[in-house]
A and B are shown apart, each in its own frame.
Chain A
Amino acid sequence: MSESGINHKFAFYLGCIAPNRYPGVESASIKAMKKLGVELVPLKGASCCPAPGAFGSIDQSVFYAMAARNLVLAEQMKMDIALVCNGCYKSIWEVNHKLKHNKDLRDAVNEVLKEVDMEYKGTINVYHTAELLYNDKFIGVDKIRDSITNPLTGARIAVHYGCHLTKPHKDREFEKEVMLNTEHPVWMEELVAALGATPVEYRNKMQCCGAGGGVRGYDIVHALDITNEKLINLKEEKVDALTDICPFCQLQFDRGQIEIQEKFGVSYGLPVLHFAELLGLAQGMSPQDLGLDLHAISCEPFLKKVL
C-alpha cells in the first residue's frame, strides 16, 4: 500500500441516471472506495455511455463512436475506467472489448473519431465498481468487512444482479475467473453479508428488472408487469430492502413501485438501494450525505432497523 493508502486509481465514469436521480451513488462510491484504497478520479468531458438498448438497437456506428470517445478520454488520463451501472458496463466494456479484437471495426471508429482529433488505441480496461469490490486483486470481501463501522445487523436484504454485467457470459473474463457463476451467482450475497446484513434468496432472482433493452421506453405496462412479478417474489421473503448495482434497475424498482401503484393498484413500500449506498451506510455515512431522501420509496423503515 502506498503512503496515501491508495493502491489503485480509476477514471470514474458516472453515466446519466446515477448523478441525476441518485447522487448518493456517486458520493458513496467515491468516499467508500477511498477508504478501501481505490481512488475514483472524475472522467471529465464524458458523454452518455450511450445506452445500449436505445442507441445500440438503432445506429451501431453512433453507438460505437460515442462509447469509443469515452474510452479515449480515459486513455488520455492513462487510467482504467470504473463505473457504477450495468448499462454503462454493457456499452463501454463491450465496445472496448470489440474494438480491441476487431481491426476493421477499430479503423471505422477511428475514422469517425478523427473529426474530433481523437484516436482509440485500446490501452485501458473497463471495470464495474462491484467487480472491484468483490475481486481480491483490487479490494475483496475481507477488506470490506474490516472497513465497516455501522454493521447492518438484522436487515434482510435481497440482491438484484441485473443482466448486462454478467451476460453474455462467454466474453466476460471476470465471470469465468472471479465470480464463476452467471445463472445463479452468489457473490453479491457475499458482499451483503460482509456489511453485516442477512442476504436473502428469492424466487427467480435472475429475472430482469423489466426496464432494460428499451422495454421501459417501448411498453411501460409490460415493463412494470415484470417488475411487479419480481416485487411479489421479494414480498414473499419479507425482505427489508433490495440492493442493486445498476441505477437503471434501481430506477425501475424505486420509481416503478409508484407507477405500479397507479396502474395496478398495489403498493409494496420496498426500499431500493444501490450497493454503493449500502456500503456508505455501513461505513458510517449519513442518510443525508447519501441523498436517500431523494428515493421515490422511503428508506425510513429500513434505516430505522439498521441505524
Chain B
Amino acid sequence: MAEKKSTTKKTESKKDTKKVAPVKQEVKKQAAAPAAKPKAEEAPAKSPIDNLAKAEDARIGVFICHCGTNIAGSMDIEAVQEAAKTFPHVAYVDNYKYMCSMPGQTVIHKAIKDHKLTGVVVAACTPRLHEPTFRTATKDGGLNPFRFEMANIRDQNSWVHMHDREGSTDKAKDAIRIAVAKAALLQDLHPKAVPVEKAAMVVGAGVAGMQAALDLAAAGIKTYLIEKDMSIGGRMSQLDKTFPTLDCSQCILTPKMVDVGRSPNIELMTWSEVHEVEGYIGNFDVTIRKKARGVMTPKEAEAKGIVGGGCNGCGDCEGVCPVIKPNEFEIGMKPRKAIYVNHPQVVPLIYTIDFTSCVKCGLCVTACGPEKRAIDLEMKDEFVKVKVGTAILATGYDIFPIENKQEWGYKRYENVISSLEFERLICASGPTGGHLVRPSDGETPKRVGFVLCAGSRDNTGTGKPYCSRFCCMYSLKHAHQIIEKIPGCVPYIFYMDIRSFGKMYEEFYYRIQDEGAKFIRGRVANIIEDKATKNLHVMADDTLLDRPIDMEVDMVVLAAAIQPAADTNRTRKLFGVSCSSDGWLLEAHPKLNPCGTTTAGVFLAGVCQGPKDIPDTVASAEGAASAASIPIHMGEVELEPYFASCIPEKCAGCGMCVNLCPYSALSLVEKDGRTVMQVTEAKCKGCGTCGGFCPGGAIWMNHFTTPQIVAQIDAFLLGGEQ
C-alpha cells in the first residue's frame, strides 16, 4: 500500500517536472538556494514558474500554537506534534503557548536559521488574523515571506469541535499535512508596489460624509463628495435638537455645511450618484452620474458663456411654479413646487427641478430672466469620470416602513406619527413653525404616547432583530421637548429597557424622569383609535405592575427602527463591499477594523456600517478619513502578488480568459510572432477564474498553482505516510 502511494506521488511529481520542462534549469537553480534573495524584479518577467521550489529539496518547519487553551484545550498537541514529525519534507516541529507572541515568533525565525528551513507552516488561528504576523516572522528568519503557509486549527477546528478531542486531533493532523504539502512547493513572491492617486471620494454627504470629506481636505487631499440628494446635511439636518446637550441640530451642522461648500479641496457634487467603479486601491476610476438638475450653478453657466449667470438662490422661479407636490424633506407635511430647495439653509443654494412633476410651462425660465439664464428645461444627465486613490462610503440610513407593524396603525390612524415626523413638527423651521399639533384636528396634544423599539429588537419576522441604538435617547429628548413647550402635556414612554449608554446619557435619562415623563415598561401590543375623538388607546402590558393597561392618549409617536438607505445595495456592489444579513455594510473586522472593508482602499463611515448616534457617527467618519488618507500619504501601496501569469509556450491565444476576467486585467498581445495572453498585474485580483478555465493549462496562479493545489489534495486523500 505504502509503495503504491509513493508511486502515485512520483508520477505526479514527474508530471509536474514535465509541465515545467522548458524552464527546468532555472527551477534547479532556485531550489538550490531557496533562502537567497532571487533577482526579484526580473523573475516574473520571464516564465512565471521560474522560481518554483522543488519538493524534494524542501525542508519545512511546523509550529503548533496552543492559543492558550483555545486550541490546546480541545486537542492533544503532543500527538499532533508527533504526527507532524512523520510528514514528508518536515525538518523541524515545535509548539508554543502563543505562537504570535514575540517569543513565539523568535522560535520561528531561530528555527529557520538553525535548521535551514525552506518553508514555514504555522498551525494556529486564521490567516485573516495572523498571516501578516507570521509572514514577518518568516522574513525575519531570512526567507521570502510567501514561503509561509497557515493551517487553521482553531476557528475551523478546536472551536467547532470543542467536545471531540480525538476528532479535532485527527483533523489538526490532516490540516498540517495538507499545509506542509503546499509549503514544500511554495515560491518566492514579491509584492508589486503601485502609485496611489492623491485624491479621495466620499459617497454620501450627511454628517458622516461631510466630516470625512472635511478631514481629508484638511489633510491636503483633493476630495470628491458625492450626494444623491440636492443638498447636503443628510438626516441630521432634519432633526430639531440633539441629545443629551439639546443643541439645535441645524445650528451645529450649518457651519460644517458651509465649510464643505467653501473648502478648496472638496469638490461637492450634489444631485449625483456613483454610476460605475473600476480599478483597485490607489487607482479607482469612478464614473459619476450628474442627474439633470434643470438649473445651472454660476460655474456651469459661466462654462456655457453666460457670464454672471446661473442660480443665485433668489427663489423667483419657485414663486411662479404652478405645480404643488408634498415636500419629502418635511415627510410630506408641507408643500413644495416642482422647482424647489429642501429648506432655507441648504448648501449649495441651487434650485432643482423635479422633472417627474414639472409640466415644462416655462414660467420659471421667464422669472429667472435673461441675465441669470440659470434654468434649462432640456438638461440631460451627465457622466463625469474621476480618478481617486481611496473611497469612503457614508450612505446612511432610512426609516423602517413602520406601517408594516400593522398593530400600531401608522398610516391608518391620523394621530400615530413616526419619530422623524415628530422632529419636523417640533422644529421651528418645520411645517408648523415648531408647534406640535395633532394631524387629525390641529389641536395641541396633552397626552403623548411614545412607543420605543418600534420595529427594532423585533423577532416576529416583520421588524428588525437589531437595536437601532439612538431611539431611546431621542425619545427622552422628545419627552423633554413637549414638557418644555406644552405646559401640562404628559409624555408616556412605553419601553423595554432604556439604553442610555453614552457619555452623559444616563444623567439625561434621570433628568427626564425628574421632569415628569411617565415610563411604562412593556411592549405595546395594539393601538386602537377612538372613532369620534381620534384619540388613541395604547394597549400594553405593564410588566412592572404585572397588569395589562389601556392608556388613552391624544397622539402616539413611534420610535421607528432604521434600515440601510434605499440605494445602499447598489452602491456597495459597485465598490465590491459586502453586507451582513441585516443589510448593513460589512466592516473588515467588527472590533479591530471597523472602518475598513475587505476591498482594499474602500472604507465605511457612519450609520451605513450599523446604527450609530451622532457622536459615534462623527468618530467613525474621522476614523475612516484617517484610514483612507494613509495610502494616499504613503504614495504607493503593495499589492498581494497573487496575480495570474501566462505561460507563453502553452498559451494558444484563444482569448477565452480575456472575456472571463471580471477585472479586465487580461489582454492579447503579439509576442515572438504569436498571439498570447498578457496580465496587467496591478489589475489582477488573483481570483483564479482564468486559471481554472484555461483549456491549455497555460495560466499560472501565483501562490495557488496547480501543482500546489494538487499536492494539497493528494496529501489529504493519501492519508498519513506517503
Binding site for B on A (CB under 8 A): 168-170, 176, 181-184, 203-204, 206
Contact = CB atoms under 8 A, between A and B. Distances in A.
Interface string B384-424: 00000000000000000000011101001000000000000
The 3 A-B pairs with the shortest beta carbon distances in the complex, nearest first, are A183-B406, A183-B407, A184-B406
B468 to A, nearest CB: 20
Contacts of B526: 183, 204, 206
Contacts of A169: 460-462
B405 A183 contact: yes
A279 to B, nearest CB: 26
Nearest to A233: B528
A130 to B, nearest CB: 19
Interface in B638-665: none
Contact of A184 (B407, B460, B461, B462): B407
Contacts of B528: 203-204
Nearest to A175: B461
A1 B43 CA distance: 74
A170 B460 contact: yes
A181 B461 contact: no
Contacts of A204: 526, 528
Given A183-B526, A184-B412, 10 more contacts: A168-B460, A169-B461, A169-B462, A170-B460, A181-B406, A182-B406, A182-B462, A183-B405, A183-B407, A204-B528
Nearest to B403: A184
A183 B412 CA distance: 12
Nearest to A184: B406
A203 B528 CA distance: 7
Contacts of A181: 406
A120 to B, nearest CB: 27
Majority-rule SS of B interface residues: loop
24 contacts: A168-B460, A169-B460, A169-B461, A169-B462, A170-B460, A170-B461, A176-B461, A181-B406, A182-B406, A182-B462, A183-B405, A183-B406, A183-B407, A183-B526, A184-B406, A184-B407, A184-B409, A184-B412, A203-B528, A203-B531, A204-B526, A204-B528, A206-B407, A206-B526
A181 B412 CA distance: 14
Nearest to A201: B531
B455 to A, nearest CB: 13
B535 to A, nearest CB: 12
Q: Of residues A169, A170, A183, which shows the largest number of chain B Cβ atoms within 10 Å of its Cβ?
A: A183
B412 to A, nearest CB: 7
A177 to B, nearest CB: 13
Interface string B44-72: 00000000000000000000000000000
B680 to A, nearest CB: 48
A30 B259 CA distance: 75
Contacts of B407: 183-184, 206
A176 B460 CA distance: 12
A203 B405 CA distance: 18
Contacts of A170: 460-461
A7 B526 CA distance: 41
Contacts of B405: 183
Contacts of A176: 461
A304 B407 CA distance: 36
Contacts of B461: 169-170, 176
A131 B547 CA distance: 35
Contacts of A184: 406-407, 409, 412
A302 to B, nearest CB: 24
A39 B175 CA distance: 61
B49 to A, nearest CB: 51
A176 B531 CA distance: 29
A120 B407 CA distance: 38
Contacts of B406: 181-184
Contacts of A203: 528, 531
Nearest to B531: A203
A170 B526 CA distance: 18
A157 to B, nearest CB: 19
A206 B409 CA distance: 13
Nearest to B405: A183
A11 to B, nearest CB: 30
A195 to B, nearest CB: 25
Contacts of A168: 460
A184 B531 CA distance: 16
A170 B459 CA distance: 9
A204 B530 CA distance: 10
Contacts of B462: 169, 182
A203 B530 CA distance: 8
A225 to B, nearest CB: 13
A204 B405 CA distance: 15
B462 to A, nearest CB: 7
Nearest to A203: B528
A215 B567 CA distance: 49
B157 to A, nearest CB: 26
Interface in B536-581: none
B531 to A, nearest CB: 8
Interface in B399-454: 405-407, 409, 412
A168 B409 CA distance: 19
A184 B460 CA distance: 15
A154 B446 CA distance: 41
Contacts of B412: 184
Nearest to B408: A183
B460 to A, nearest CB: 6
Contacts of B409: 184
A176 B461 CA distance: 10
A86 B526 CA distance: 22
A169 B405 CA distance: 12
A176 B412 CA distance: 20
Contacts of A183: 405-407, 526
A182 B531 CA distance: 22
A169 B462 CA distance: 9
A230 to B, nearest CB: 13
B534 to A, nearest CB: 13
A27 B412 CA distance: 39
B259 to A, nearest CB: 47
A206 B526 CA distance: 9
A127 to B, nearest CB: 21
Interface in B449-477: 460-462
A204 B529 CA distance: 9
Nearest to A167: B460
A228 to B, nearest CB: 15
A181 B528 CA distance: 17
B487 to A, nearest CB: 32
A290 B315 CA distance: 71
A168 B462 CA distance: 12
Nearest to B407: A183
A197 B409 CA distance: 25
A42 B398 CA distance: 52
A168 B460 CA distance: 8
Contacts of A182: 406, 462
Q: Of residues A169, A170, A182, A184, which shows the largest number of chain B Cβ atoms within 10 Å of its Cβ?
A: A184
B352 to A, nearest CB: 36
A182 B408 CA distance: 12
A169 B458 CA distance: 13
A181 B405 CA distance: 9
A168 B461 CA distance: 10
A204 B460 CA distance: 20
Contacts of B460: 168-170
Interface in B24-49: none
Interface in B677-722: none
Nearest to B461: A170
A168 B406 CA distance: 15
B542 to A, nearest CB: 18
A160 to B, nearest CB: 16
A204 B536 CA distance: 12
B313 to A, nearest CB: 45
Nearest to A181: B406
Nearest to A202: B531
A88 B120 CA distance: 65
